[in-house]
Amino acid sequence: MAEEEVKILGAWPSPFVMRPRIALNLKGVKYEFLEEVLGEKSELLLKSNPVYKKIPVMIHKGKTVSESMIIVEYIDEAWADGKPAILPADPYDRAVARFWAVYIDDKIFPSMKAILMAQTDEAKTEAGSQASTSLQLLEEAFKTCSKGQGFFSGETIGSLDIALGSCLGWIRATEKMTGVDLLTVEKTPLLAAWAERFCADEAVKEVMPETDRLVEVAKMLQAKWKASA
Ligand code: GTX
Protein backbone atom coordinates (compact mmCIF):
# COMPACT_ATOMS: atom_id res chain seq x y z
CA MET A 1 0.00 0.00 0.00
CA ALA A 2 1.35 3.40 -0.98
CA GLU A 3 0.85 4.87 2.49
CA GLU A 4 2.98 2.07 3.98
CA GLU A 5 5.90 3.23 1.89
CA VAL A 6 8.99 4.40 3.70
CA LYS A 7 10.95 7.37 2.46
CA ILE A 8 14.20 8.81 3.71
CA LEU A 9 14.98 12.37 2.89
CA GLY A 10 18.74 12.75 2.95
CA ALA A 11 22.08 13.15 1.20
CA TRP A 12 24.64 10.39 0.68
CA PRO A 13 27.60 12.13 2.40
CA SER A 14 25.70 12.85 5.62
CA PRO A 15 26.71 10.64 8.56
CA PHE A 16 23.35 11.41 10.19
CA VAL A 17 21.48 10.14 7.14
CA MET A 18 23.43 6.87 7.20
CA ARG A 19 21.93 6.02 10.58
CA PRO A 20 18.29 5.39 9.58
CA ARG A 21 19.44 3.81 6.32
CA ILE A 22 21.54 1.24 8.22
CA ALA A 23 18.67 0.62 10.66
CA LEU A 24 16.24 -0.01 7.78
CA ASN A 25 18.76 -2.32 6.11
CA LEU A 26 19.18 -4.27 9.36
CA LYS A 27 15.41 -4.68 9.58
CA GLY A 28 15.15 -5.63 5.89
CA VAL A 29 12.73 -2.75 5.21
CA LYS A 30 12.71 -1.35 1.68
CA TYR A 31 12.67 2.44 1.39
CA GLU A 32 12.85 5.16 -1.17
CA PHE A 33 15.86 7.46 -0.84
CA LEU A 34 15.00 11.04 -1.73
CA GLU A 35 18.31 12.76 -2.31
CA GLU A 36 18.69 16.36 -1.13
CA VAL A 37 21.59 18.50 -2.26
CA LEU A 38 23.84 19.30 0.74
CA GLY A 39 23.48 22.99 1.50
CA GLU A 40 20.10 23.32 -0.22
CA LYS A 41 16.64 22.64 1.17
CA SER A 42 13.79 21.28 -0.91
CA GLU A 43 10.18 22.25 -0.34
CA LEU A 44 9.56 18.71 0.90
CA LEU A 45 12.33 19.06 3.50
CA LEU A 46 11.07 22.46 4.71
CA LYS A 47 7.59 21.01 5.02
CA SER A 48 8.72 17.74 6.62
CA ASN A 49 11.13 19.16 9.23
CA PRO A 50 9.91 22.74 9.73
CA VAL A 51 11.61 23.06 13.13
CA TYR A 52 15.26 22.26 12.28
CA LYS A 53 15.04 22.01 8.46
CA LYS A 54 17.74 19.33 8.61
CA ILE A 55 18.24 15.90 7.12
CA PRO A 56 17.54 13.06 7.73
CA VAL A 57 13.77 12.96 7.80
CA MET A 58 11.83 9.72 7.58
CA ILE A 59 8.35 9.68 6.08
CA HIS A 60 6.32 6.62 7.10
CA LYS A 61 2.62 6.23 6.41
CA GLY A 62 2.58 9.93 5.55
CA LYS A 63 4.01 10.93 8.97
CA THR A 64 7.40 12.49 9.46
CA VAL A 65 10.09 11.64 12.03
CA SER A 66 13.23 13.77 12.45
CA GLU A 67 16.57 13.53 14.28
CA SER A 68 18.72 10.61 13.23
CA MET A 69 18.85 8.63 16.50
CA ILE A 70 15.15 9.21 17.15
CA ILE A 71 14.45 7.79 13.70
CA VAL A 72 16.66 4.76 14.51
CA GLU A 73 14.63 4.15 17.69
CA TYR A 74 11.37 4.61 15.81
CA ILE A 75 12.48 2.05 13.20
CA ASP A 76 13.39 -0.39 15.96
CA GLU A 77 9.95 -0.07 17.54
CA ALA A 78 7.90 0.09 14.35
CA TRP A 79 9.50 -3.10 12.96
CA ALA A 80 9.92 -5.05 16.19
CA ASP A 81 8.13 -8.32 15.43
CA GLY A 82 10.43 -11.06 14.27
CA LYS A 83 13.16 -8.59 13.34
CA PRO A 84 16.57 -8.17 15.00
CA ALA A 85 16.47 -5.62 17.85
CA ILE A 86 18.59 -2.50 17.45
CA LEU A 87 18.33 -1.07 20.96
CA PRO A 88 19.58 -3.17 23.88
CA ALA A 89 16.82 -5.15 25.65
CA ASP A 90 18.00 -4.20 29.14
CA PRO A 91 16.84 -0.72 30.31
CA TYR A 92 20.22 0.11 31.85
CA ASP A 93 22.13 -0.96 28.72
CA ARG A 94 19.68 1.13 26.69
CA ALA A 95 20.37 4.20 28.85
CA VAL A 96 24.13 3.68 28.49
CA ALA A 97 23.83 3.33 24.70
CA ARG A 98 21.79 6.57 24.55
CA PHE A 99 24.33 8.37 26.77
CA TRP A 100 27.23 7.53 24.45
CA ALA A 101 25.21 8.32 21.32
CA VAL A 102 24.62 11.85 22.68
CA TYR A 103 28.33 12.06 23.57
CA ILE A 104 29.27 11.17 19.98
CA ASP A 105 27.10 13.97 18.58
CA ASP A 106 28.44 16.43 21.18
CA LYS A 107 32.12 15.63 20.78
CA ILE A 108 33.05 13.69 17.66
CA PHE A 109 31.39 15.81 14.96
CA PRO A 110 32.47 19.18 16.41
CA SER A 111 36.06 17.99 16.83
CA MET A 112 36.22 16.70 13.26
CA LYS A 113 34.89 20.02 12.02
CA ALA A 114 37.48 21.79 14.19
CA ILE A 115 40.30 19.70 12.66
CA LEU A 116 39.07 20.41 9.14
CA MET A 117 38.73 24.13 9.87
CA ALA A 118 42.02 24.58 11.73
CA GLN A 119 44.06 27.39 10.20
CA THR A 120 47.30 26.73 12.10
CA ASP A 121 49.28 23.63 13.07
CA GLU A 122 48.64 24.45 16.74
CA ALA A 123 44.87 24.59 16.21
CA LYS A 124 44.99 21.33 14.26
CA THR A 125 47.01 19.58 17.00
CA GLU A 126 44.68 20.89 19.70
CA ALA A 127 41.53 19.76 17.83
CA GLY A 128 43.18 16.41 17.01
CA SER A 129 44.04 15.81 20.65
CA GLN A 130 40.46 16.61 21.72
CA ALA A 131 39.14 14.11 19.18
CA SER A 132 41.65 11.50 20.39
CA THR A 133 40.58 12.01 24.01
CA SER A 134 36.93 11.43 23.03
CA LEU A 135 37.80 8.33 20.99
CA GLN A 136 39.85 7.00 23.91
CA LEU A 137 36.77 7.26 26.14
CA LEU A 138 34.75 5.45 23.48
CA GLU A 139 37.43 2.73 23.36
CA GLU A 140 36.83 2.23 27.10
CA ALA A 141 33.05 2.32 26.57
CA PHE A 142 33.41 -0.38 23.92
CA LYS A 143 35.21 -2.62 26.40
CA THR A 144 32.30 -2.30 28.86
CA CYS A 145 29.34 -2.29 26.47
CA SER A 146 30.46 -5.10 24.16
CA LYS A 147 31.06 -7.51 27.05
CA GLY A 148 33.80 -9.17 25.02
CA GLN A 149 31.74 -9.49 21.82
CA GLY A 150 32.18 -7.88 18.41
CA PHE A 151 29.90 -4.86 18.68
CA PHE A 152 28.89 -2.27 21.27
CA SER A 153 25.55 -4.11 21.39
CA GLY A 154 27.04 -7.57 21.62
CA GLU A 155 26.94 -10.06 18.76
CA THR A 156 25.19 -7.83 16.24
CA ILE A 157 25.04 -4.16 15.24
CA GLY A 158 22.93 -2.02 17.58
CA SER A 159 22.09 1.63 18.15
CA LEU A 160 25.47 2.70 19.55
CA ASP A 161 27.28 0.89 16.74
CA ILE A 162 25.16 2.88 14.30
CA ALA A 163 25.75 6.17 16.16
CA LEU A 164 29.56 5.86 16.02
CA GLY A 165 29.81 3.76 12.86
CA SER A 166 28.12 6.49 10.84
CA CYS A 167 31.12 8.75 11.66
CA LEU A 168 33.71 6.32 10.30
CA GLY A 169 33.71 7.63 6.72
CA TRP A 170 34.23 11.19 7.98
CA ILE A 171 36.91 10.08 10.44
CA ARG A 172 38.80 8.42 7.56
CA ALA A 173 38.32 11.44 5.29
CA THR A 174 39.54 13.81 8.05
CA GLU A 175 42.60 11.62 8.67
CA LYS A 176 43.40 11.52 4.95
CA MET A 177 43.02 15.26 4.42
CA THR A 178 44.84 16.49 7.51
CA GLY A 179 47.31 13.73 8.40
CA VAL A 180 45.85 13.60 11.93
CA ASP A 181 45.62 10.01 13.26
CA LEU A 182 42.29 9.45 14.97
CA LEU A 183 41.12 5.86 14.98
CA THR A 184 44.14 3.62 14.44
CA VAL A 185 45.25 0.18 15.61
CA GLU A 186 47.93 1.89 17.73
CA LYS A 187 45.64 4.43 19.41
CA THR A 188 42.31 2.59 19.69
CA PRO A 189 42.90 -1.10 18.90
CA LEU A 190 39.42 -2.28 19.94
CA LEU A 191 37.65 0.40 17.92
CA ALA A 192 39.93 -0.22 14.92
CA ALA A 193 38.92 -3.90 14.85
CA TRP A 194 35.27 -3.00 15.51
CA ALA A 195 35.34 -0.49 12.60
CA GLU A 196 36.44 -3.26 10.21
CA ARG A 197 33.63 -5.53 11.38
CA PHE A 198 31.08 -2.72 11.17
CA CYS A 199 32.04 -1.68 7.64
CA ALA A 200 32.05 -5.31 6.42
CA ASP A 201 28.39 -5.80 7.40
CA GLU A 202 25.98 -6.00 4.44
CA ALA A 203 23.62 -3.47 6.07
CA VAL A 204 26.46 -0.93 6.19
CA LYS A 205 28.43 -1.60 2.98
CA GLU A 206 25.72 -0.20 0.73
CA VAL A 207 25.56 3.17 2.48
CA MET A 208 29.15 3.76 3.66
CA PRO A 209 30.67 6.30 1.26
CA GLU A 210 34.20 5.83 -0.11
CA THR A 211 36.75 7.95 1.71
CA ASP A 212 37.89 9.73 -1.49
CA ARG A 213 34.35 10.84 -2.31
CA LEU A 214 34.00 12.26 1.20
CA VAL A 215 37.36 14.03 0.86
CA GLU A 216 35.93 15.88 -2.15
CA VAL A 217 32.85 16.90 -0.12
CA ALA A 218 35.04 17.88 2.84
CA LYS A 219 37.10 20.19 0.58
CA MET A 220 33.90 21.86 -0.55
CA LEU A 221 32.69 22.27 3.05
CA GLN A 222 36.10 23.61 4.13
CA ALA A 223 35.86 26.33 1.46
CA LYS A 224 32.29 27.15 2.54
CA TRP A 225 33.17 27.29 6.26
CA LYS A 226 36.21 29.49 5.48
CA ALA A 227 34.08 31.88 3.44
CA SER A 228 31.51 32.21 6.20
CA ALA A 229 34.07 32.48 9.07
N1 GTX B 1 20.93 16.25 15.18
C2 GTX B 1 20.61 16.04 13.77
C3 GTX B 1 20.37 14.56 13.52
O4 GTX B 1 20.97 13.76 14.24
O5 GTX B 1 19.57 14.22 12.64
C6 GTX B 1 21.71 16.60 12.90
C7 GTX B 1 21.37 16.54 11.42
C8 GTX B 1 22.28 17.45 10.58
O9 GTX B 1 23.10 18.22 11.10
N10 GTX B 1 22.09 17.36 9.27
C11 GTX B 1 22.82 18.24 8.38
C12 GTX B 1 21.85 19.28 7.84
O13 GTX B 1 20.75 19.00 7.45
C14 GTX B 1 23.35 17.46 7.19
S15 GTX B 1 24.69 16.44 7.59
C16 GTX B 1 26.08 17.52 7.73
C17 GTX B 1 27.35 16.71 7.66
C18 GTX B 1 28.55 17.45 8.14
C19 GTX B 1 29.69 16.52 8.46
C20 GTX B 1 30.83 17.27 9.15
C21 GTX B 1 31.92 16.44 9.65
N22 GTX B 1 22.31 20.54 7.83
C23 GTX B 1 21.55 21.63 7.30
C24 GTX B 1 21.56 22.83 8.20
O25 GTX B 1 22.34 22.83 9.18
O26 GTX B 1 20.83 23.77 7.91
- What's the CATH number where 216 sits? 1.20.1050.10
Distance CA(153)–CA(98), nearest Å, equals: 12
Q: Does pTM top 0.85 for this prediction?
A: yes
Is 204 part of any domain? yes
Task: Give the position, in ligand 1's atom list, of the atom nearest the Cα of 67.
Answer: 5
pLDDT band at 225 (very low <50, low <70, confident <90, very high): confident
Helices 211-228 and 168-178: angle between axes, nearest 10 degrees? 70
Task: Give the position, in ligand 1's atom list, of the atom nearest the Cα of 38.
Answer: 14
Residue range of the domain that includes 156: 91-228
Q: Is the CB of 8 under 6 A from ligand 1?
A: no
Domain termination site, one of 78, 100, 131: 78
Main-chain dihedrals φ then ψ at residue 63, nearest 5 degrees: -105, 150
HEC string of the chain equals CHHHCEEEEECCCCHHHHHHHHHHHHHCCCCEEEECCCCCCCHHHHHHCCCCCCCCEEEECCEEEECHHHHHHHHHHHCCCCCCCCCCCCHHHHHHHHHHHHHHHHHHHHHHHHHHHCCCHHHHHHHHHHHHHHHHHHHHHHHHHHCCCCECCECCCCHHHHHHHCCHHHHHHHHHHHCCCCCCCCCCHHHHHHHHHHHHCHHHHCCCCCHHHHHHHHHHHHHHHHHHC
Mean local confidence (pLDDT), 174-184: 95
Is 72 part of any domain? yes
Residues 97 and 56 reside in one and the same domain: no
Count structural domains, the chain.
2
Q: Is the CB of 12 under 6 A from ligand 1?
A: no
- The predicted-structure confidence for 61-108, as pLDDT tens digits, reads as follows 999 999 999 999 999 999 999 889 999 999 999 999 999 999 999 999
Is 202 part of any domain? yes
User: Between β-strands 57-60 and 32-35, what pairing exists: parallel, antiparallel or unpaired?
Assistant: unpaired
pLDDT band at 39 (very low <50, low <70, confident <90, very high): confident
Q: What is the reported pLDDT for 193?
A: 98
Residues 134 and 224 reside in one and the same domain: yes
Is 1 part of any domain? no
Q: Whose CA is nearest to atom 1 of ligand 1?
A: 67
Domain termination site, one of 52, 78, 104: 78
Q: Is the CB of 109 under 6 A from ligand 1?
A: yes
Residue 226 has pLDDT above 90, yes or no: no
| CATH code at position 19 | 3.40.30.10
The distance of Cα 132 from the centroid of its chain, to the nearest Å, equals: 18
Residues 109 and 28 reside in one and the same domain: no
Provide the sign of the torsion angle of the four alpha carbons 193, 80, 145, 99, taken in this order.
Answer: positive
